[in-house]
């Protein structure tokens, strides 16, 4: 007799754990996970796309996925929220046929976080499964609800919690590949101790630490992004922007409405490139959640990146205002260090050649580093105007010295072959001494890096 036939007959005594686990993995989207997850992520779970053994929706597939998540949590190489870890361990106890242990884990979550709605949902299903078969994830919530709750409202809330459960399970199932790093971070400014990389597809914010010039994974958190997804284009589109930004302020909770929870960290959207592309909007923050909420569904904000309040509190001490980079990507591309080194070397050579040609006052060589599509702020907004202005300045010089320090380099996660370079520029000449922080956007054109934007950072 098949598993589901025994469920229909109500023989639940030995099947409560597998059934609820299957409900969580299949009804809430286990099948979708394998359909829509890239091959490399599925491979990380020990599966291959289209594999027939342990098919989707079978005890074998549930066991394979739960084993992958358990291995990730037990490896010690992944540092995430203790609350999330406890919740997921509770779900994993179901796979081990230990419903009492599962309930204990869920109760432990709720004891410290009574506003964690997803934990309440799992607990309700656990208790209901003791008395009758489960037909879907969130049975208890679908059939319960307050007197003022209509069926449509309950269904919507359950669907949101289902999306959160799916996001939490799938993000923990695929561990960051060992010995690989996000390709978007080429080089950090020596003063930048930490870097944030948001993987929108995995509802995950990663924190990396710079140690002796090397990037190391530190921790990660579940996050929510815009209710209409990512790639913000205009004011009010409820999308989260994609690109390279930095934390520009710290707004404490005492100065904010309860909606923002533990506080907020505004980022510099729109940046110069966003403005050039005609992207509009403002007020994109990393922030917490209201006090009556533990977390929000994966796509639920007006465009901000939203964390649970305990996670935001853990993130806040790591932030350096004006320095910490925030890379928001549709999906992180993990590469080995040699690939990053090769790209960094190529870009560094281009930047050094630009510096050297400027210092040598060779205008023809200097201007070759600029794209025909170049633009800037101020009066010299086109390449022609820039060339004219620089030519006049250069004519008054008998010597020039250019020094660059505190350089950072990033690849834009949403624009092919585009890099963001920032540095402190020390300019001296026979009639002017000047220091400034500069930002350049370089694009790879026909195998050659060229500047498409230059201005003050």
85 backbone φψ class: left, alpha, beta (φ>0; ψ -120 to 50): alpha
Per-residue pLDDT of the chain (457 residues; tens, 9 = 90+): 333 333 334 343 444 444 455 455 544 333 333 333 443 343 333 333 333 333 333 444 555 666 777 777 776 677 888 999 999 888 888 767 788 899 999 999 999 999 999 999 989 988 887 887 766 777 777 666 554 556 677 778 889 998 999 899 889 887 788 889 999 999 999 999 999 999 999 999 999 999 999 999 999 999 999 999 999 999 999 999 999 999 999 999 999 999 999 999 999 999 999 999 999 999 999 999 999 999 999 999 999 999 999 999 999 999 999 999 999 999 999 999 999 999 999 999 999 999 999 999 999 999 999 999 999 988 888 999 999 999 999 999 999 999 999 999 999 999 999 999 999 999 999 999 999 999 999 999 999 999 999 999 9
Rounded CA-CA distance 375/78 in Å is 43
Identify the sign of the CA torsion 439, 443, 444, 449: negative
Check residue 177 and give its pLDDT: 85
| Long-range contacts of residues 149-158, Cβ cutoff 8 Å, at least 24 apart | 157/117, 158/121
Query: Which residue in the block uniquely carries the two structure tokens 């540095």?
Result: 423
Cβ contact 245:270 at 8 Å = no
Starting at the edge strand found earlier in the chain, the sheet holding 325-329 runs: 214-222, 204-211, 194-199, 325-329, 243-246
Rounded CA-CA distance 52/420 in Å is 45
Q: Of 273, 286, 299, whose CA–CA distance to 439 is shortest?
A: 273
Catalogue all structural domains in the chain, each as residue range(s) with its CATH number.
3-173 (no CATH), 198-207+219-328 (2.40.440.10), 336-456 (3.10.450.50)
Cβ contact 91:24 at 8 Å = yes
Check residue 21 and give its pLDDT: 52
Check residue 200 and give its pLDDT: 97
Cβ contact 232:303 at 8 Å = yes
pLDDT digits (tens, 9 = 90+) for 384-419: 999 999 999 999 999 999 999 999 999 999 999 999
pLDDT digits (tens, 9 = 90+) for 299-328: 999 999 999 999 999 999 999 999 999 999
Cβ contact 373:382 at 8 Å = no
Q: How many residues does the chain have?
A: 457
């Amino acid at each position: 007799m098949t598993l589901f036939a025994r469920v229909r007959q109500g023989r639940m005594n030995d099947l409560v754990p597998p059934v609820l686990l299957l409900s969580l993995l299949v009804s809430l989207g286990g099948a979708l996970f394998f359909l829509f997850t890239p091959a490399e992520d599925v491979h990380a779970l020990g599966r291959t796309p289209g594999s027939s053994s342990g098919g989707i929706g079978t005890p074998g597939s549930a066991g394979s996925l739960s084993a992958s998540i358990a291995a990730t949590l037990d490896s010690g190489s992944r540092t995430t929220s203790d609350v999330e870890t406890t919740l997921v361990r509770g779900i994993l106890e179901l796979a081990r046929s230990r419903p009492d242990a599962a309930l204990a884990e869920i109760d432990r979550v709720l004891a410290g976080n009574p506003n964690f709605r997803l934990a309440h949902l799992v607990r309700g299903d656990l208790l209901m499964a003791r008395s009758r078969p489960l037909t879907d994830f969130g049975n208890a919530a679908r059939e319960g609800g307050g007197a003022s709750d209509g069926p449509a409202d309950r269904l919507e809330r359950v669907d949101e919690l289902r999306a959160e459960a799916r996001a939490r399970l799938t993000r923990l199932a695929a561990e960051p590949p060992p010995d690989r790093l996000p390709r978007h971070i080429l080089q950090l400014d020596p003063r930048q101790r930490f870097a944030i990389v948001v993987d929108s597809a995995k509802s995950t914010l990663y924190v990396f630490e710079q140690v002796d010039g090397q990037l190391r994974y530190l921790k990660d958190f579940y996050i929510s992004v815009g209710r209409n997804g990512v790639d913000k284009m205009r004011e009010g589109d409820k999308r989260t922007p994609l690109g390279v930004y930095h934390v520009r302020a710290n707004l404490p909770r005492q100065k904010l409405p309860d909606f923002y929870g533990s506080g907020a960290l505004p980022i510099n959207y729109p940046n110069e490139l966003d403005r050039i592309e005609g992207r509009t909007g403002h007020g994109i923050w990393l922030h917490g959640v209201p006090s009556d909420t533990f977390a929000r569904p994966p796509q639920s904000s007006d465009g901000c990146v939203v964390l649970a309040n305990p996670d935001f509190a853990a993130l806040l001490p790591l932030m350096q205002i004006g320095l910490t980079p925030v890379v928001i990507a549709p999906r992180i591309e993990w590469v080995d260090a040699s690939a990053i080194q090769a790209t960094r070397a190529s870009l560094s050579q281009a930047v050094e050649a630009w510096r050297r040609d400027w210092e040598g006052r060779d205008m023809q060589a200097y201007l070759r580093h600029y794209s025909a599509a170049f633009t800037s702020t101020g009066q010299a907004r086109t390449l022609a105007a820039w060339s004219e202005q620089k030519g006049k300045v250069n004519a008054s010089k008998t010597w020039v010295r250019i020094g660059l320090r505190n350089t950072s380099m990033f690849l834009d996660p949403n624009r092919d072959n585009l890099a963001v370079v920032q540095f402190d520029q020390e300019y001296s000449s026979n009639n002017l001494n000047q220091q400034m922080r500069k930002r350049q956007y370089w694009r790879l054109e026909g195998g050659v890096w060229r500047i498409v934007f230059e201005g003050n950072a």
